[in-house]
């Protein structure tokens, strides 16, 4: 499948409580990567995708999935032409990938991540 979903995030007010909840509810192995504010989830198997559980930065909690694309800026242009809107222009995550966010025509926020 072109442009697969490759990452998810569950963000809220209490990262440690969310980590405990999802870790215990689904036996997800989690690694603290940001001193208690963000945990990486690695399924460590052929099935499932990696994700993150952490603190929402200055807003309400939400769930986001990330779609892999070759060029986030070009993808945002196409999305705009189809009735979506840019929420966050492409940005380089320190030590990580380039990401961007858009809202679909109904306002659901979805992430983009540059493929390797």
Which pLDDT value is given to residue 27? Answer: 87
Q: What pLDDT does 43 receive?
A: 81
Say which DSSP state 101 is in. E
Sign of the CA dihedral 102, 51, 40, 57?
Answer: positive
Model confidence at 36: pLDDT above 90: no
In this predicted structure, the answer to whether residue 44 has a pLDDT above a threshold of 90 is no
Residues 6 or more apart whose Cβ sits within 8 Å of residue 23: 29, 30, 39
State pTM to two decimals: 0.83
Percent of the chain's residues with pLDDT above 70: 100
Strand order in the sheet with 85-92: 30-32, 38-41, 50-55, 5-12, 62-69, 109-114, 98-103, 85-92
pLDDT band at 31 (very low <50, low <70, confident <90, very high): very high
Domains in the chain, CATH or no CATH each: 1-69 (3.10.180.10), 72-116 (3.10.180.10)
Residue with tokens 């309400």: 60
């Amino acid at each position: 499948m072109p442009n697969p979903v490759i990452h998810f995030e569950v963000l809220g007010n209490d990262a440690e409580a969310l980590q405990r909840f999802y870790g215990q509810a689904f036996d997800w192995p989690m690694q603290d990567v940001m001193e208690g504010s963000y945990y990486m989830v690695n399924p460590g198997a052929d099935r499932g995708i990696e994700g993150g559980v952490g603190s929402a930065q200055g807003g309400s909690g939400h769930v986001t999935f990330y779609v892999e694309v070759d060029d986030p800026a070009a993808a945002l242009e196409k999305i705009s032409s189809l009735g979506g809107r840019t929420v966050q222009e492409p940005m380089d995550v320190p030590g990580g990938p380039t990401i961007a966010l858009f809202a679909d025509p109904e306002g659901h926020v979805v992430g983009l991540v540059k493929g390797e």
